[in-house]
Amino acid sequence: MRWFDERLHHAWLNHGYTQRFEITRVVYQKKTEFQDLIIFDNPAFGRVLALDGIIQTTERDEFAYHEMLAHVPLFAHGNVKTVLIVGGGDGGVLREVLRHDIDKATLVEIDRAVIDICREHMPHLSGGAFEDGRVHVVIADGVAFVAESGDTFDVVIVDSTDPIGSGAALFTAEFYGNCKARLAPGGVLVTQNGVPFFQPDEVVETYRRLAPLFADATFYVTAVPTYIGGLMTLGWATDDASLRTLSEAVIARRVAKAGIETRYYAPPVHLGAFALPPFITALMAGDGHTRPGP
Ligand code: SAM
């Protein structure tokens, strides 16, 4: 029997703990120009994508991540026409974004192989999104794109790998500043920000970098079983603080009008996701332990 052991890139975690998946079949394995890519089948989670040894998404629980990354900013904004996705080559976030009445979604992915291989071996993830006429795919480093593009977007979604390798540059103050420059007035930036129990420094560092740039910077949470360790944080940054004070009735009206059915996202979940446990707010305040526990 073959197993896949995931060890997150965090020093204290590499002692006596791992997340383990049985591999019933290796569907595809390749060292791309940027990373080690594997797609395998697992009895519990279906088809699984990992990059550089880190789980990116699985067939069974991807909805809990992709729905929250897409629908929270789009329904909070309420009139999104243009979206920029940085990373996200598996197409899951793009699929959810396209369920809204938008004009254009631009996806900037550094590694073309992720798009091609996921389209072939995990087609349900993008669900035909890459064939949608509203989609503009750019194969480039997202860091250079946000620095050089003159375009603006109503929502910017950073669906990145963890802050190592090519993903590290997607967590810097300079990158966040350039994302802000890409936002249209009233725009929202959301980011993949790790699991704070295991990766607390991602909350500490991201908040320290976002807070000076935006009138409203915080995190919201989702729970994705294979992003193991409890709640995962998603970064939220905008200059329009009113987007976080909408009533449930307003959000529910927008969801009903859009006619989008979801499995994780819902108006009360949207509002509740911004309620943060004290161990996360302590990290934001700079007085949290970077190694949780006693
Ligand atoms: N949901 C996933 C997670 O949190 O594990 C992330 C999924 S998505 C596959 C992440 C993508 O970000 C990868 O395909 C990777 O190639 C891309 N990426 C990493 N660094 C990048 C960069 N600098 N510019 C654009 N895309 C980047």
Residue 103 and residue 242 share a domain: yes
* Residues of the domain holding 228: 62-284
pLDDT recorded at residue 13: 55
Buried b (16+ CB within 10 A) or exposed e, 80-114: bebbbbbbbbbbbbbbbbbbbebeebbbbbbbebb
* Half-sphere exposure for 202 (CA within 13 Å, toward CB): 27
User: How far, in Å, from the CA of 160 to the mean position of ligand 1?
Assistant: 4
Residue 270 and residue 193 share a domain: yes
| Residue listed under structure tokens 């949470």 | 221
Structural domains in the chain (count): 2
How far CA 66 is from CA of 62, 69, 224, 237, 243, in Å, comes to 6, 5, 10, 18, 20
Contact at 8 Å (CB) between 57 and 65?
Answer: yes
Contact at 8 Å (CB) between 41 and 248?
Answer: no
Contact at 8 Å (CB) between 97 and 265?
Answer: no
Residue 266 and residue 235 share a domain: yes
Say how many residues make up the chain.
294
Residue 177 and residue 93 share a domain: yes
Domain boundary among 39, 58, 77: 58
DSSP assignment letter at 44: T
Residue 206: which residues within 8 A CB-CB, separation 6 or more? 171, 191, 193, 219, 235
In a domain, 291, yes or no: no
Q: Which two tokens stand for residue 4?
A: 């896949």
In a domain, 172, yes or no: yes
Q: Identify any residues that bridge with 106 across adjacent strands, giving them in sequence order.
A: 84, 136
Contact at 8 Å (CB) between 178 and 147?
Answer: yes
pLDDT recorded at residue 56: 96
Residue 218 and residue 158 share a domain: yes
Residue 158 and residue 68 share a domain: yes
Q: Which two tokens stand for residue 249?
A: 């009735």
* Half-sphere exposure for 110 (CA within 13 Å, toward CB): 20
Residue 43 and residue 131 share a domain: no
pLDDT recorded at residue 15: 58
pLDDT digits (tens, 9 = 90+) for 192-213: 999 998 889 899 999 999 999 9
- Cite the active site residues: 159
In a domain, 293, yes or no: no
Residue 43 and residue 167 share a domain: no
pLDDT recorded at residue 16: 72
CATH code of the domain containing 66: 3.40.50.150
CATH code of the domain containing 47: 2.30.140.10
Contact at 8 Å (CB) between 263 and 59?
Answer: no
pLDDT along the chain (294 residues), means of 10: 82 69 98 97 98 96 98 98 98 98 98 98 98 98 98 98 89 98 98 92 95 98 95 98 98 98 98 97 82 54
Residue 110 and residue 200 share a domain: yes
Residue 133 and residue 111 share a domain: yes
User: How far, in Å, from the CA of 192 to the mean position of ligand 1?
Assistant: 10
- pTM of the predicted model, to two decimals? 0.96
| Ligand 1 pocket, Cβ-based, cut-off 6 angstroms | 34, 56-57, 65, 86-90, 108-111, 114, 141-143, 159-161, 166-167, 169-170, 192
